[in-house]
Amino acid sequence: MPDDTGSPLAALPRAAAQAEAFRRRIDEGPQRAEDDYHASLARFDEPLPEGGRPATEVIDQLVARATPGLQKSAGRRFFGWVIGNSHPVGVAADWLASAWGQNAGNPVASPAAAACEAVAAQWLLELLDLPREASVGFVTGATMANFVGLAAARSAVLARVGWDVQAQGLFGAPPIQVLIGDDAHATVYSALQYLGLGHARVTRIATDARGAIDPAAFAQAVTHITGPAIVILQAGQINTGACDDFARLVPLAQARGAWVHVDGAFGLWARTSREHAACVAGIEQADSWATDGHKWLQTPYDCGYAIVRDARAHWDAMSINASYLPVGQGERDPSHYVPELSRRARGFATWAMIAHLGRRGIGALVEQHVRVARLMAARLAQAPGVEVVNTVVLNQLIVRFGTDRPADEADRLTRATIARLQADGEAFAGGAQWRGRWVMRISVIGSETHEAEGERSAQAILAAWRQVRAQPSA
C-alpha cells in the first residue's frame, strides 16, 4: 500500500490519476473492449469479502479488473450506438457532484444543486430555442425523459375531460388515443408501457424511406382522433437521423386537441446550429420534448432532460409532497419534475459542459459531426459493392456491403464486415436491421471525432470489407 495513509480520502487522487491515465491512452490499441462479458465476470467473481481492504487498494483492484472490459466509447474512433464522449470537463463536474455528497432531492438538501439546475434549465431552453416558460426535469436519459413527458401528457389530456389520473389512476378513465411513427425508438414504447398506455394499443403511422412520418398518412390518422390523444413525433431516427416534418405535423395534431410529444434524444440538438436547425423547424410548437445530455452535449452517463411547455402539467404528474419535505417559496424544487426524490445532482455536469463549450461551441460540434458523417458516407459510397443506405442529414449513416450480390448474401457480408472491423479494432461500429436487412450503423458523436478520424475510420471499414470480400466463402 504505497501512499495509503489509512484515510479513505486517498481514494480520490488515486481515482483521478487512474482516470487520467485511461483517457490519455484511449486512442491506442483496439478500439473496443478486450474482455467480453464472461471474461469480465471472471475477473470480478470472488467470494463476498469478510474483512475490508484499504482505500487505494480497492481503487487499484477495481481498475485492474474493469479495464479490459471497458468499451472505448470515450475514444475518437468509436461510432457505436449513439454514445457521447463523457467529456473530461463534464466528468470532473460529475465527480464533484458525487464527492460533495449532495442529494438533489430538494432545495434545502442542496441549495447549490437546485440553483445550478435552475440556471442550467434556462440555458438549455435558450440553447435549444424552446419556450422559455417550459419546465425541465433532470433525468437519467431520453428513456426517462420520454416517460416524464408522456406522464405530463397523460395527466393533461385526461384533466381536460375532467379525469384526475394522479388520484384515480387509469381504471375507468376515458381512453387515450396514442399516435406514433412506425420508426420510433424502442424506449418510447417502454415509456408507454410504464404509463399504462400500452405499447400495442397505439396507432402506428407509416413512415417514408428515411424513417420520417409520411405527412399524408398522418393527416389521415389525426382525423380519427375523437377524444384525449397524444401524438409522438421524433427528431433524429436512430439509424438514419431523419426528423419528422414538425412545421406541418404539429399544427395538424394540435388542431385535433392532441398533446404533441417529441423524442429528440440527439436530433433536438440540431437547433443549436444555424446550418442544421432547419431539419427540426417547427419543433418548438410541440408540448413536450425528451432529450439527452450524454449524447450531443457530452456529459457523462447518465443525463437527460424532460422539457414540458405547461409547467403545471409537468408538476401535476411528478410532484412529491410530504410533511417532512420543505416547501420552498420561489425556489426550484428538483423533485417536482422527475420521478425520483433522492437523486444525483446532474445539473452540475450540465452547467459545466455548457459553460465549457458555450452556445457557439455546441453548435460547432453538431456541424463538425455532420461534416464527418458526410465525409465517411462519401468515402464508403465510392467503393464497389458498398451502399450508403440513407441520405446523411445529421450524424447517422447506415451502410450495406455486398450490394452487388443477392440480399441474403449481402446481409451475411455486412455482418461479417462489422465483425471484422470490431476484431481489427481500428474503429468501432455496430449493426442493426433496417427495413428487414442488416446494415452497419455509424454514429458520429464523439467530441474529438474530426475529419482525420473519420477518414482513418472509413479506410479501416473499407479494409475490413476488402478482407471479407477476399475470403473464399465470400
Ligand X SMILES: *Cc1c(COP(=O)(O)O)cnc(C)c1O
- Which residues lie near ligand X (CB under 6 A)? 82, 141-143, 185, 187, 236, 238, 263, 265-266, 292, 304
Pick the closer one to ligand X by CB: 191 or 250.
191
Helix (H) or strand (E) holding 438: strand 437-443
The amino acid sitting at 268 is: L
Shortest distance in whole angstroms from residue 213 CB to ligand X: 14
Pick the closer one to ligand X by CB: 263 or 284.
263
**Number of residues written out for the chain:** 474
The helix-helix angle for 11-24 and 88-99 (nearest 10°) equals 170
Pick the closer one to ligand X by CB: 195 or 416.
195
List, in sequence order, every residue forming a beta bridge with 398; answer none if it has no partner. Answer: 441
Shortest distance in whole angstroms from residue 384 CB to ligand X: 32
The reply to whether omega before 302 is within 30° of 0 (cis) is yes
Residue 442 backbone dihedrals phi, psi, to 5 degrees: -120, 120
**Residue whose CB is nearest to ligand X in the complex, by number:** 141
Shortest distance in whole angstroms from residue 282 CB to ligand X: 18
**Distance of alpha carbon 359 from alpha carbon 364, whole angstroms:** 9
Pick the closer one to ligand X by CB: 18 or 73.
73
Burial of 248 (0-12, 13-18, 19+ CB in 10 A): middle
The pairing of beta strand 259-263 with beta strand 229-234: parallel
Pick the closer one to ligand X by CB: 301 or 465.
301
Query: What does the block give as the cell for 395?
Result: 450524424
Pick the closer one to ligand X by CB: 75 or 241.
241
Pick the closer one to ligand X by CB: 94 or 292.
292
Bin 257: left if φ > 0, else alpha if -120 < ψ < 50, else beta: left
Shortest distance in whole angstroms from residue 71 CB to ligand X: 15
**Distance of alpha carbon 377 from alpha carbon 454, whole angstroms:** 10
Shortest distance in whole angstroms from residue 240 CB to ligand X: 11
**Distance of alpha carbon 330 from alpha carbon 346, whole angstroms:** 21
Longest dimension (CA), the chain: 74
Pick the closer one to ligand X by CB: 138 or 401.
138
Shortest distance in whole angstroms from residue 420 CB to ligand X: 26
64-82: b (≥16 Cβ within 10 Å) or e? ebbbebbebbbbbbbbbbb
Shortest distance in whole angstroms from residue 223 CB to ligand X: 27
Pick the closer one to ligand X by CB: 190 or 285.
190
**Distance of alpha carbon 308 from alpha carbon 286, whole angstroms:** 9
CB contact at 8 A, 90 and 353: yes
Shortest distance in whole angstroms from residue 80 CB to ligand X: 12
Is 184 in a helix, a strand, or coil? coil
Shortest distance in whole angstroms from residue 235 CB to ligand X: 8
Burial of 415 (0-12, 13-18, 19+ CB in 10 A): middle
